Amino acid sequence: MCGDNASCQHEDNVIPPFKEPVTDEHTVTDNALVTSDDPMHPANIIVELCRLFYTLGWVTGTGGGISMREGQHLPRPLRRPKRAPPPLPNLHPLLQIPNLHPHPPTPPPPPPPRPSACTPLFLQAYLRRRAGACIHTHSMHAVLATLLNGGTQKVWKIRAAEMIKAIPRGGPGVGEVGTEEGKAGRGYFGCFEELCVPIIENRSREEDLREELERAMREYPECCAVLVRRHGVYVWGETVWKAKTQCESLDYLFQLSVEMTRMGLDPNADVKEIVY
């Protein structure tokens, strides 16, 4: 994102020392990371957020995903195993197939879950922004925002909208982990500032977006999101709750820009604050 220089400062927005995350197969197979009775456990929070986001149309079909960091572990988003086909309906006796196996063999177990294609992109948010969670949606508002002005712009922009104040300037870290720039964020955008989100081009394979996403993060160090044209958006935050707030706020702003453009209004018009 881009905008004017520092607005407000948050003393509590301090990031603890970060160690290289654990990303081996232990992350996928350890039951302690994927099952728990604790409602605040990442596995349960992700399920509840997916339920909510489904009602918003963000993760319908096979679209979207959520990843959370648990300590130094990065729980990999897993694809749901394919469900067994439904049983055949009761057929008329003349149409039934004779049972040639009075004792049919036990069907094989379903294949184990595998890491999502989003995993390399989620890792960029953890390694370059020290995020606590990353959300990917296929929101129609996000997709339409990438198609404004003929669908050729490289950056989505909006200005002078109240919801802009919900977006942090630089997220939890404005530089790569281990660098001098990788410090705590610098407050939040003001509602009269210009807010920008970079747009990268879509690919047929999700994991092939990694290099473009990484480049967008370098070129827009204040961003906490990246749009993918005709695809959706990636949003990250210091915690899963902040990522949720930012994702909801950005989706509102995407829709607002689309509706303003439809009405012939410029979402990025330079509106000055009126002082009485």
Q: What are the beta bridge partners of residue 227?
A: 199, 233
Q: How far apart are CA 151 and CA 196, in angstroms?
A: 16
Residue 95, Cβ density class (10 Å: 0-12 exposed, 13-18 middle, ≥19 buried): exposed
* 199-206, long-range: CB < 8 A, 24+ apart: 199/146, 199/153, 199/154, 199/155, 199/156, 199/226, 199/227, 199/228, 199/229, 200/226, 200/227, 200/228, 200/229, 201/228, 201/229, 202/228, 202/229, 202/230, 202/231, 205/117, 206/117, 206/118, 206/121
Residue 162 annotated as catalytic: yes
Kindly name the residue from 162, 207, 211, 219 that is annotated as catalytic: 162
H or E segment and range at residue 198: strand 194-200
CA distances from 192 to 1, 266, 272 (A): 14, 14, 7
DSSP H/E element including 200: strand 194-200
Query: How far is 230 from 161, CA to CA, in rounded Å?
Result: 24
Candidates 211, 210, 238, 213; CA nearest to 227 is 213
Label each residue of 26-86 as H, E or C: HHHHCHHHHCCCCCCCHHHHHHHHHHHHHHCCCCCCCCCEEEECECCECCCCECCCCCCCC
Active site residues: 162
